[in-house]
Amino acid sequence: MKVGVLTGGGDCPGLNAVIRSVVRKGVQEYAFDFVGLRDGWLGALQGKVVPLGIPNVRGILPRGGTILGSSRTNPFKHEDGLQRVQDTLSEYDVDALVVIGGEDTLGVAAELSRQGINLVGVPKTIDNDVPGTDYTFGFDTAVGIATEAIDRLHTTAESHMRALVVEVMGRHSGWIALHAGIAGGANAILIPERPFDIDQVCDYVKSRFKINYAPIVVVAEGAVPQEGQMRVKDETLDEFGHVRLSGIGEWLAREITERTGSDARTTVLGHVQRGGTPSAFDRWLATRFGLHAIEAVKDGDFGTMVALRGTQIVRLPLADVTAETKKVDPSLYDEFEVFFG
């Protein structure tokens, strides 16, 4: 049997750990052959196929990123995309695919599976918002990096008695903001799932100053204020003269400064949250996902995705899991209300 492996979407700590365990188990236990498809679905479209054996995966467990490259290419956005993917697979005698990716990549996988291509999915996202699995690898690393940054910012905030806003990743879900905010002892945590009241945020800030502590506000990049709270003057012109909104972190710092009279500053953590060596938790999870994915291939259990449930790895129908983003549950968010302000 010949198995193709590809990684799609944004890079994420743990991708290499999955590739390694897929190949190690596939070769050593089932005597499968492997090829890598370069740069996600782009490699499938363009026939960019590379050899993939045990020597290629030695030493990659602790390395961030992906040795196979990645892209956001969607074959279904190309007229003859499906055909070209099928051509690549048959040209290289690929019997089955292990597809490692997030919502978009797995959505393509689900559709290809319906079209008869044998494949197994492995969920990947920094943001932890793939439904059906308790956690995705990469998330723990991102939360750890963000928490360490918040730890550091506390001392700056205290020394200058200044409010600090930390913008973390999370366009559609607030998982990183919530976990890192709780772990970092934030005084307000703003997530996309719940439009925030800027007046309440300012009240939190003021109540913190009142007891002589400096507030830290953690905000997911996709968080938004309640309707009507973002005014026209918040929009600036970009370099082409178009109106644009500044990032939510910058907006917040400006509002807090104006409304409370205390100078607030913003730090946007950005890409550092997604790069570098995976945490031990993510290496463990990614390794197990890989082992179970290749087992699913061997079982011929195609059209499925591996997922974490408690301490078990299970298989779910791909079709079920790609429908929507996993949001932060309101009751979970409310658990932590006591720490705000």
Which residue numbers are catalytic? 127
- From 301, 293, 312, 300, select the one nearest 20 (Cα to Cα): 293
Q: How many residues line the site for its own copies (CB under 8 A)?
A: 83
102 token code pair: 């997030």
Residue owning tokens 């319906």: 114
Binding piece for its own copies, criterion CB under 8 A, among 25-33, 101-109, 297-305, 317-325: 25-33
228 vs 310, beta carbon nearer its own copies: 310
Q: What angle do CA 242, 246, 249 make, to 5 degrees?
A: 170
Name the minimum Å distance from CB 179 to its own copies.
6
205 vs 291, beta carbon nearer its own copies: 291
Q: Binding residue for its own copies (CB under 8 A) from 124, 208, 265, 327?
A: 265
Give Cα 22 distance to the centre of its chain.
21
Query: DSSP for 30-47?
Result: H--EEEEETTTHHHHHHT
Give Cα 310 distance to the centre of its chain.
20
173 token code pair: 């879900």
255 exposure class (CB count in 10 Å sphere: 0-12, 13-18, 19+): buried
Name the minimum Å distance from CB 114 to its own copies.
28
Report how far apart the first and last C-alpha atoms of the chain are (Å, whole number): 58
For residues 234 and 251, give the distance between their C-alpha atoms in angstroms, rounded to a whole number.
7
Name the minimum Å distance from CB 220 to its own copies.
16
Count of beta carbons in the 10 Å neighbourhood of residue 55: 9
Binding piece for its own copies, criterion CB under 8 A, among 87-95, 107-115, 188-196, 228-236: 228-236
> Judged by CB under 8 A, does residue 247 bind its own copies?
no
Q: Binding residue for its own copies (CB under 8 A) from 6, 108, 220, 291?
A: 291
Name the minimum Å distance from CB 5 to its own copies.
15
Q: Binding residue for its own copies (CB under 8 A) from 51, 53, 270, 330?
A: 270
3, 34 in Cβ contact below 8 A?
A: yes
Q: Binding residue for its own copies (CB under 8 A) from 144, 174, 215, 222?
A: 144
Binding map of its own copies across residues 304-333, x = CB under 8 A, - = no contact: -----xxx----------------------
> Judged by CB under 8 A, does residue 233 bind its own copies?
yes
Restricting to residues 52-91, which ones interact with its own copies according to CB under 8 A?
58, 61-66, 69-71
